[in-house]
Structure 1
Amino acid sequence: MSSLAEKGFSISKNALFSVFMNRAGRLLGRPFKVVLVLNEVANKLADKKSGDNKFKQLLDVMLTVVRLVKSYVSGAYRQIETQTILSGLGVLLYTLSPIDLVPDFIPVVGFLDDLSLMSWFVGSFQEEITRFREWEQTHAAEANEATKDVPAAVAVDTTKATPAVAELGHS
């Protein structure tokens, strides 16, 4: 059986995902809309958290990706390739959409393709996510400003230790 990351890689090559990548490209030029989408994604991810298992760790890292895209759009963090931001935003849009390869209304299985794609993204862009987390640690005031629109339920305390990306089993 293939790993989540391998399944996510397969999804990333699917024509349906290219629709989300195109949408991400159009959306990136509209910061206000990006913030709205990021808030929706953060709310969806927050509803799926449970326990301290690898899925929770993956979702925690994806919340970091929400903050990363938000910091990029606000201009606070630009030490990353635009293509990486587009891929991250494409994954977040795919996660948000109820219409994907396995519809989200199917219990458990409906979220598995989302988790697979997230797993692929985290594994592929592990260094960039780690670099952003380090930047967040040293630029807490700017990071707090970038996350001010995130609902309190999903605003992440950047002073609290979060699982290392390598702990997700993608290295």
Structure 2
Amino acid sequence: MMAKAARAAAAWRTYREVTKPGSPGLMARVRAVPRMVGAVMRGQYSGLGKGKLALLGIGVVYILSPIDVLPDFLMVIGVADDFGVFLWLLGTLLGESGRYVEHERSIIQGNLEGA
């Protein structure tokens, strides 16, 4: 029961962050993910560490993998762990990519002011 409430709260926080006026929208965040990953790997963006990026990658592999900590044949329990990882992954990626879009905007703004 507590896990459901935590997942619902995380989903609500993500929704509020994405819909906040002035913040990057959902599609801007989604399109920024590949750029963010590339920038982190090239050492051009320090807002997201390589360790956290690796955890996000592990989350993707876990969701896609047929091997689970809690097997899916346990029905509700087996699917719930995948869903929990999915919500964490989605919330984290949207939050981090939003910060990355803001980082890009600040660089562009700085370049415009310096020109």
TM, length-normalised to structure 2: 0.45
Structure exhibiting the larger radius of gyration computed from Cα positions: 2
Q: Which has the higher helix share?
A: 2
